[in-house]
Amino acid sequence: MKRLFVLAALCCSSLFLSMPVSAKKPGAQNINFGAITCSEFMKELSQGSAEDAGVVLMWIDGYLSGVSGDTVLKWGDLEKFSTDLVAYCGKKPDEKVLDAAEAVGISE
């Protein structure tokens, strides 16, 4: 496991070192997840690439982990969370996306 972690860290560091400091996807804009509604989130998600959607959903999962204190990444749970969030947002388009994420992603 330690060897896998070291290999992943080396790959990531070489990737970041090879990127220019100002590297950014052309046309990409900052996202204020505290203000975006489910309908806006769903629209942006449908217009982006699968890679973009994965990054955004991973960010939201990380945010929830910070809120809840959960430090374990469970891949199966991430897939379920993503599906549940999209379904929830489809039903409540005016809700803030972080409120929706907390409703489906944090179990007490």
pLDDT in tens, 10-55: 344 343 344 344 445 566 678 888 899 999 999 988 888 889 888 8
What is the C-alpha separation between 41 and 22, in angstroms, rounded? 25
Share of the chain above pLDDT 70, in %: 72
Tell me what pLDDT residue 25 has: 58
CA angle 61, 67, 70 (to 5 degrees): 65
Please say if the pLDDT value at position 7 is more than 70. Answer: no
Architecture field, domain 31-105: Orthogonal Bundle (1.10)
Nearest to 62, CA basis, from 38, 33, 91, 41: 33
Tell me what pLDDT residue 95 has.
Answer: 96
User: Do 102 and 64 meet the contact criterion of CB atoms below 8 Å apart?
Assistant: yes
